[in-house]
């Protein structure tokens, strides 16, 4: 039986690569609203791309400690299916965003050891999905898309009552191993399908989805 792993391709910024995501039948497409990221898009850019793919894949808006005004603009202009909160948002802030905008929330956490998973507990009632990413390198000022991974064994048998997505250092060459070792059923990739920082590669997107879909349960 073939696993129906959920796949998110994040940091899309061109129509060509957005088409690659939908043609490969990835479940989610992510747009990054964080100026320090090489994958940052303006709301105007994201609206054009979101309108282009709407109905073919779920639209995820990645933000980092954004205020209500910024979130409201994204909500009204782009109408994302999910807000991905990739900053230091508190459980209360996650609950507030969910309540104000009525959009499901996926909260990202940087993981490097088992103790990091303890902080997740307080968020569980207030979010719809948990995303586990590697902690960024010490010299990085962006919280994700750094191309580093963590020990996937930390997620084995983890039952938190909310769906889990694995991110960090994934690519076509290791996504099958990551799914098998972690036991999760959803993966997120950004830098792992790029030919250079911030520039997605269509063939790598295809290869990533193909490899993730090929994992047998």
Q: Which of 19, 27, 51, 133 is catalytic?
A: 133
The string over 43-66, giving b where at least 16 C-beta atoms fall within 10 Å of a residue's C-beta and e elsewhere, is beebbebbeebeeebbbbbbbbeb
113 is catalytic: no
Q: Is the pLDDT of residue 57 over 90?
A: yes
Q: Which two tokens stand for residue 112?
A: 């490097």
Check whether 106 has a pLDDT greater than 60.
yes
Question: For residue 74, what pLDDT is reported?
Answer: 98
What does pTM read for this prediction?
0.92
* pLDDT band (50, 70, 90) for residue 147: low
What is residue 32's predicted lDDT score, i.e. its pLDDT?
A: 98
Residue 68 catalytic? no
Residue 1: predicted pLDDT: 34
Output the pLDDT for position 13: 97
The CA R_g of the chain, rounded to the nearest whole Å, is: 16
Q: Extract the tokens encoding 138.
A: 């010490």
Q: Which domains are delineated in the chain?
A: 6-213 (3.20.20.70)
Whether the per-residue pLDDT at 182 is higher than 70: the answer is: yes
């Amino acid at each position: 039986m073939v696993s129906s792993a959920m796949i998110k391709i994040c940091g899309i910024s061109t129509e060509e690569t957005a088409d690659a995501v939908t043609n490969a039948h990835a479940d989610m497409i992510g747009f990054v609203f964080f100026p320090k990221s090489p994958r940052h898009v303006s709301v105007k850019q994201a609206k054009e791309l979101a309108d282009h793919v709407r109905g073919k894949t779920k639209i995820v808006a990645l933000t980092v400690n954004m205020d209500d005004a910024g979130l409201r603009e994204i909500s009204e202009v782009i109408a994302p299916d999910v807000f991905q909160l990739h900053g230091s948002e508190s459980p209360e802030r996650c609950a507030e965003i969910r309540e104000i905008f009525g959009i499901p929330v996926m909260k990202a956490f940087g993981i490097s050891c088992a103790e990091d998973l303890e902080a997740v507990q307080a968020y569980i009632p207030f979010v719809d999905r948990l995303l586990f990413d590697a902690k960024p390198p010490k010299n990085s000022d962006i919280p994700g898309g750094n191309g580093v991974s963590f020990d996937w064994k930390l997620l084995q048998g983890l039952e938190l009552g909310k769906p889990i997505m694995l991110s960090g250092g994934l690519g076509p060459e290791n996504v099958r191993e990551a799914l098998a070792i972690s036991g999760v059923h959803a993966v997120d990739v950004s830098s792992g399908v790029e030919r250079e920082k911030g520039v997605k590669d269509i063939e790598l997107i295809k290869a990533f989805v193909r490899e993730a879909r090929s994992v047998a349960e």
